[in-house]
């Protein structure tokens, strides 16, 4: 218990670092995932290929390798940014591949008849998309997007090992200060549980509010 | 002809007519040009920052360097093999625990599974490595086993539960015991149906062996890092990434494709008729939602 109370600011810093990483990368992943999903269902061949390659490559890349390449490789191109931004880039791009697949399968769950009905009523492409297809797809992707974002929060621990301020990284400082290493890790674990369980609770709430049983 | 342009019937748009196809062709040409320009820019950057100088690439012709890389690859595969076998075993044990008739056993198994799934793997690996002072390889394997084992336990459990009820009812009616019903009737059908999901989870395990790099386990990425940080070779960082990532990604892709292939085979197999095949990519399930 002492470990937490005496080093509360250190823990809080790490906790906020993880939350920050998670939030920024989630936003990037959702945006990029949406763009890639729209590429993958586009009627234009080259965009479909781009989306497919993006998803296949990133889903099969170990995240550590991606971090390694982005954090230590991009500076060789003369691109020097804070490590945190690099970490957000790596995490966001990695997760965007999973988000893309979730969104694509969400769009595919909308029955073809829905779109055909909308078009036969004279709706334009934009109207079909915004008022018929996307609202239905949105309802069915809430739980899988939630679990993808939970995985993202857990993956953000890797950033800590690449010296970004983050919850897991706090163990190093505490270890040097000579605190009980077991209790240090117990509180780190509690921190992660708080984050993952709150994401889970948020998405359960959204599911209850908007989800539909198909 | 028309099916060539549309990926498959979606709710998004109709099968395009001639004018639309012309428009799509235009979009296609423009976007291809843009993508090629992007690739060209990256290649230009590579040349511009002198990543293709011979100083950076000759190390890969040295026997010692090749051996170092191969040893790293071997260590990666070794960690993967241990982790895969052990997590399959742990998954089976935990799944049996969760399906048990005894409430305390069920409780313990559920708590273990939920806890290990909610924890980042890296935290577990660091805990074992730093706090319990274990060697890198056992620490990595244990961490991977605990995480993937609990995910696999859930896969096995849902697999067994998704076998049609008539199967177990018929087996019980023949007078088989619960153990017999599970081992002879439910498990064989469930495992067939779940094979693609199990293999996809093993891809996750293979990818996560690279976490060993962070606890100084001498695996593939670690070997790459050793070469990349060598001043004698002019810090061949990008070349190392360009050599390592295709091998890593290729291995994972091969395993993923195997999973898809198995899934395709299973869909045609009459022996799995009684099981609803779950989608091959379970991801992380929401803790607390069943």
pLDDT tens per residue, range B26-51: 999 999 999 999 999 999 988 888 88
d(CA A58, CA A148): 14
Q: Which helix (H) or strand (E) holds A48?
A: helix A45-59
d(CA B202, CA B256): 9
Domain ranges of chain A: 2-210
B3 touches chain A (CB under 8 A): no
B39 touches chain A (CB under 8 A): no
Tokens of B182: 């599970």
d(CA A30, CA A91): 11
B127 touches chain A (CB under 8 A): yes
Q: For residue B146, is pLDDT > 60?
A: yes
Distance in angstroms between the alpha carbons of the first and the last residue of chain A: 47
The reported pLDDT for the residue numbered A145 is 93
Helices marked H in chain A — which ranges? Answer: 2-6, 8-40, 45-59, 63-73, 83-109, 112-120, 125-127, 134-155, 157-161, 170-177, 181-210
Interchain pair A107, B287: CB under 8 A: no
- Each residue of A72-85: pLDDT tens digit? 888 888 788 888 89
Residue for token pair 């781009």: A50
Q: φ, ψ for residue A44 (rounded to 5)? A: -100, 120
Residue for token pair 């009980």: A180
Q: φ, ψ for residue A211 (rounded to 5)? A: -65, 155
Interchain pair B118, A143: CB under 8 A: no
d(CA A63, CA A65): 5
Interchain pair A115, B11: CB under 8 A: yes
Q: For residue B103, is pLDDT > 80?
A: yes
The number of residues making up chain B comes to 290
Contacts of A112 in chain B (CB under 8 A): 9-11
Q: For residue A62, is pLDDT > 90?
A: yes
> Which DSSP string do the residues of B14-81 spell out, in sequence order?
PPP-HHHHHHHHHHHHHHHHHHHHHHHHHHHHHHHTT-S-HHHHGGGGSHHHHHHHHHHHHHHHHHHH
The reported pLDDT for the residue numbered B268 is 81
- CA of B83: how far to CAs of B15, B19, B121, B221, in Å? 48, 56, 13, 18
Residue for token pair 């459990």: B157
The reported pLDDT for the residue numbered B274 is 66
Interchain pair B123, A78: CB under 8 A: no
Q: For residue A87, is pLDDT > 70?
A: yes
- Each residue of A103-126: pLDDT tens digit? 999 988 888 888 889 989 999 888
Q: For residue A8, is pLDDT > 60?
A: yes
Interchain pair A65, B35: CB under 8 A: no
The reported pLDDT for the residue numbered B121 is 92
A8 or B30, higher pLDDT? B30
Contacts of B241 in chain A (CB under 8 A): 68-69, 73
Q: For residue A198, is pLDDT > 90?
A: yes
Angle formed at CA A135 by CA A129 and CA A140, multiple of 5 degrees: 120
Contacts of B208 in chain A (CB under 8 A): 62
- Each residue of B239-288: pLDDT tens digit? 888 889 999 999 999 999 999 998 888 878 777 666 765 544 444 444 43
Contacts of A146 in chain B (CB under 8 A): 286
Beta bridge partners of B275: B163
Give the closest residue to A143 by CA, choosing from A79, A203, A54, A53.
A203
B32 touches chain A (CB under 8 A): yes
**Three-state DSSP class for residue A31:** helix
For residue A28, the tally of other CB atoms under 10 A from its CB is: 18
Nearest beta carbon to residue B284 from set A105, A150, A168: A150
A60, B256 Cβ separation under 8 angstroms: yes
Give the closest residue to B275 by CA, choosing from B161, B128, B137, B111.
B161
d(CA A20, CA A25): 8
* DSSP assigned state of B164: -
Give the CATH number of domain B56-272. 1.10.3720.10
ipTM: 0.87
Q: For residue A5, is pLDDT > 90?
A: no
The reported pLDDT for the residue numbered B53 is 82
Nearest beta carbon to residue B11 from set A76, A111, A196: A111
B235, B162 Cβ separation under 8 angstroms: no
Please report the sign of the dihedral spanned by the C-alpha atoms of residue B4, residue B9, residue B11, residue B15: positive
**Three-state DSSP class for residue B163:** strand
Q: For residue B4, is pLDDT > 60?
A: no
B277 touches chain A (CB under 8 A): no
Beta bridge partners of B163: B275
Contacts of A150 in chain B (CB under 8 A): 284, 286-287
d(CA B249, CA B139): 24
The reported pLDDT for the residue numbered B6 is 44
- Each residue of A129-159: pLDDT tens digit? 889 999 989 988 998 999 999 999 999 999 8
B252 touches chain A (CB under 8 A): yes
The reported pLDDT for the residue numbered A213 is 60
B260 touches chain A (CB under 8 A): no
Query: At A61, is the pLDDT very low, low, confident or very high (cuts 50, 70, 90)?
Result: very high
Closest residue on chain A to B127 (Cα): A185
B207, A57 Cβ separation under 8 angstroms: no
- Each residue of A41-52: pLDDT tens digit? 888 888 999 999
Q: φ, ψ for residue B84 (rounded to 5)? A: -65, -50
d(CA A73, CA A80): 10
| Mean residue pLDDT across chain B | 86
**Three-state DSSP class for residue A95:** helix
Residue for token pair 């993967």: B80
Give the CATH number of domain A2-210. 1.10.3720.10
Task: Count the alpha carbons within 13 Å of B210 in the hemisphere toward its beta carbon.
Answer: 26
This prediction has a pTM of: 0.88
């Amino acid at each position: 218990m002492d470990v937490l109370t005496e080093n509360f600011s250190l823990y809080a810093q790490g906790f906020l670092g993880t939350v920050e990483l998670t939030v920024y990368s989630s936003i990037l992943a959702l945006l990029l995932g949406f763009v890639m999903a729209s590429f993958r269902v586009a009627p234009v061949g080259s965009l479909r290929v781009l989306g497919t390659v993006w998803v296949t490559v990133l889903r099969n890349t170990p995240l550590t390798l991606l971090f390694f390449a982005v954090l230590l490789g991009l500076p060789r191109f003369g691109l020097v940014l804070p490590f945190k931004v690099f970490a957000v880039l790596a995490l966001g791009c990695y997760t965007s591949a999973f988000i893309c697949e979730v969104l694509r399968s969400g769009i595919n769950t909308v029955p073809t008849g829905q779109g055909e009905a909308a078009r036969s009523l004279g709706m334009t492409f934009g109207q079909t998309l915004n008022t018929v297809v996307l609202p239905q797809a949105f309802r069915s992707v809430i739980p899988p997007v939630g679990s993808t974002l939970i995985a993202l929060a857990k993956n953000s621990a890797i950033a800590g090992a690449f010296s970004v301020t983050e919850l897991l990284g706090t163990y190093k400082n505490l270890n040097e200060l000579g605190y009980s290493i077991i209790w240090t890790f117990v509180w780190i674990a509690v921190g992660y549980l708080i984050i993952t369980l709150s994401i889970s609770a948020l998405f359960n709430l959204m599911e209850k509010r908007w989800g539909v049983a198909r | 002809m028309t099916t060539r342009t549309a990926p498959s019937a979606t709710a998004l748009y109709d099968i395009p007519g001639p004018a639309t196809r012309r428009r799509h062709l235009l979009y296609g040409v423009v976007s291809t040009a843009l993508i090629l320009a992007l690739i060209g820019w990256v290649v230009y950057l590579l040349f511009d920052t002198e990543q293709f100088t011979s100083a950076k690439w000759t190390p890969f012709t040295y026997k010692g360097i090749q051996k170092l890389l191969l040893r790293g690859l071997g260590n990666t595969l070794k960690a993967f093999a241990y982790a895969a076998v052990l997590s399959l075993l742990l998954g089976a044990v935990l799944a049996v625990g969760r399906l048990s008739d005894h409430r305390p056993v069920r409780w313990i198994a559920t708590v273990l599974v939920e806890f290990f799934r909610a924890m980042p793997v890296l935290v577990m690996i660091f805990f074992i490595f730093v706090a319990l002072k274990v060697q890198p390889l056992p620490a990595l394997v244990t961490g991977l086993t605990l995480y993937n084992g609990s995910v696999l336990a859930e896969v096995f459990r849902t697999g067994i539960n998704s076998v049609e009820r008539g199967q177990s009812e018929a087996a019980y009616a023949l007078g088989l015991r619960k153990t017999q019903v599970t081992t002879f009737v439910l498990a064989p059908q469930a495992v067939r149906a779940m094979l693609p999901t199990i293999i996809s989870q093993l891809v996750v395990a293979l990818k996560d062996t690279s976490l060993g790099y962070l606890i100084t386990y001498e695996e593939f990425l670690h070997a790459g890092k050793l070469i990349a940080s060598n001043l004698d070779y002019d810090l061949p960082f990008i070349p190392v990434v360009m050599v390592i990532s295709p091998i890593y990604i290729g291995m994972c892709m091969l395993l993923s494709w195997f999973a898809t292939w198995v899934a395709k085979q299973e869909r045609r197999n009459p022996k799995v008729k009684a099981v609803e095949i779950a989608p091959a990519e379970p991801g992380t399930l929401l803790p607390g939602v069943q």
